[in-house]
Amino acid sequence: MTGFNDHPLRYALTNELHARPFPALEAPSYAAYLAIKQPENAAARDRGADFAHLLDLLDRFGAAHPQPDATHYYGQIGKHHLKWESHSEFVTYTIFVDATTEHPFDPVAFAVFPQDWLDKIPGARLTSALIRIEERPKDGEIRTKINKWFVAESVASVEVLDGAAVVAGDFRIDTGGHLRFAVFAGKGITPRRIGRIVQRLSEIETYKAMAMLGHARIRDIGARMNAVDAKLSALVQGLGGDMADPEVDLSALLAHSAALEGLMAETSFRFGATRAYEAIVHDRIKVMREERFDGRQTLNEFMMRRFDPAMRSVRATERQLENLAGRAERAGNLLRTRVDVERSAQNQQVLESMDRRADLQLRLQETVEGLSVVAISYYAVSLASYLAYPFAEIIGLTKGELTAALVIPVLLGVWLAVRRIKHHTGKF
């Protein structure tokens, strides 16, 4: 069939769904699991270093290399099988061995990872686990082994996949530095189902550890949040009283808001990732279809008692941080309103002062106008007198009488002229 244009990512995305098959494991066997995480900032992660570290391990066993852009690998190294996966924040190595160690959960199982290779890990160990797989004995023998291998106070023991196997673990780090899980595979269970159980246990532990990084983060920022909260509360309480300088308080509030925004920027990725990892943990437990075994707590109950409270603390801190940011925003609005009101009052006082000065200036101007009428009239009378002196003898008046007679008409004329000019200019 022709005529179709495939999306350039069609095959890559489809193959990604089938790229991480579950291992096929027989009983007895064991798995050594290691998860490595680079620095907290996911953007700073050097995926090339993780891939080069994988190639170093493969070269030590003469194993074939995966594609340069691969995010997963499954192959044989020596007598064992290796599964490698690269995730968004971490990489995992799982060694599968078709045998069991003489001593249960012997740290020698990790000897397949050379020590000098472990010393060059590009990051740090997030978690590691030994998973022992045995054929399912009688329930009494399982009970004896669980009591011997795990801490009774925290052990979880369940039947999974409709009773196909019994899984046990206490999520504690042993003296060798690893967690322990035991899988007792029942008769008739297929190697693929055993592989799925082992894979789910590894994922539950890894995503639990990743989610708990969010809980560690809230401890780091707790003191900073409390300090900002105290300063913000003191500032908000002062909004109702007299403030010496609201603009100074506004600058302080902006500094608090900037600190809160910085905290939110630092934690937004980790809090979001924590929610995602928490959901994955519960999803992985759910697909195990667990049932209580020997009256012990289930995996879900273990998480409910020990893991879920930590996750609730993370969510509470996230809400608290959002509430603090909201309070700072509301306080900023109130403070800006108060500053605006005070500025308006100051502007009103300035306008009133300007009105008073304008009124005073007007009265002064009117006074000057009156004086100017007198001054102009004085010079006008003088000029008019000089013009009228030749006619004084004709009309039988002395110069003084003639000058006196001209004062009133000239003064009235000047006053009318000034008034007319003032009226004319007032129209513009």
Residue ranges of the domains in the chain? Answer: 19-190, 211-349, 361-425
**pLDDT digits over 287-315, tens only?**
999 999 999 999 999 999 999 999 999 99
Query: For the residues 150-168, what does the mean pLDDT come to?
Result: 95
- pLDDT-based confidence at 1, cuts 50/70/90? very low
pLDDT of the residue at 329: 79
Query: For the residues 350-354, what does the mean pLDDT come to?
Result: 81
Write out 376-416 in H/E/C secondary structure: HHHHHHHHHHHHHHHHHHHHCCCHHHHHHHHHHHHHHHHHH
pLDDT of the residue at 385: 75
- pLDDT-based confidence at 333, cuts 50/70/90? confident
Q: Determine contact, residues 235/288, Cβ cutoff 8 Å.
A: no
- pLDDT-based confidence at 361, cuts 50/70/90? confident
**pLDDT digits over 138-158, tens only?**
999 999 999 999 999 999 999
Return the C-alpha torsion angle 269, 271, 275, 276, nearest 10.
20
> Which one-letter DSSP state was computed for residue 120?
T
Query: For the residues 261-285, what does the mean pLDDT come to?
Result: 92
Tell me which of 253 and 324 has the higher pLDDT: 324
Q: Determine contact, residues 321/261, Cβ cutoff 8 Å.
A: no
The percentage of residues in the chain with a pLDDT greater than 70, rounded to a whole number, is 90
**pLDDT digits over 95-105, tens only?**
999 888 788 89
Measured at the CA of 168, the angle between CA 163 and CA 173, to 5 degrees, comes to 160
Tell me which of 325 and 205 has the higher pLDDT: 205
**pLDDT digits over 11-66, tens only?**
777 776 766 677 889 999 999 999 999 876 555 678 899 999 999 999 999 999 99
pLDDT of the residue at 306: 92
Q: Where are the alpha helices (DSSP H) in 163-245?
A: 191-237
Query: For the residues 363-387, what does the mean pLDDT come to?
Result: 72
pLDDT of the residue at 316: 93
Query: For the residues 88-101, what does the mean pLDDT come to?
Result: 90
pLDDT of the residue at 426: 57
State how far the Cα of 29 lies from the Cα of 42, in Å rounded to an integer: 35
